[in-house]
Amino acid sequence: MAIVAVSISPVGGDVSVSRYVAEALRVLEGYPGIKTERGSMFTTLEGDIDEIFAAIREMQEAVFAAGADRVGTVMKVDERRDKEMTMEGKLSSVRRHLESE
């Protein structure tokens, strides 16, 4: 199981990138095995690492197809193999620490 934060956007061109982001996010509808959490700067994906990487590649292509000549992608990958990990589990762990202080 992996958790990946990803931000994909065109480089250059219009100042607003929301239409490109929307095209990238539409790709995720075809990946029901990937859990998503949208944020204002990144989208977090949870699931099989190979499936996530395939989705990200397809998301990049969607931004190109929407008219971008250049695409910038930032990813942060957290993959554990010693125990099960979820987005909610990570947040719950931080909450426990905040409550104990």
pLDDT of residue 98: 94
Mean pLDDT of the region 59-72 = 95
Q: Give residue 21's region: left, alpha or beta (phi > 0; psi -120 to 50).
A: alpha
> Would you place residue 20 in the very low, low, confident or very high pLDDT band (cuts 50, 70, 90)?
very high
Q: In the predicted model, is pLDDT for residue 15 greater than 90?
A: no
Q: Which two tokens stand for residue 15?
A: 């100042």
Average pLDDT, the chain: 95
Residues comprising the chain, all counted: 101
**% of the chain exceeding 90 in pLDDT:** 90
* For the chain, domain boundaries: 2-100
pLDDT of residue 93: 92
The CATH number of domain 2-100 is 3.30.70.930: yes
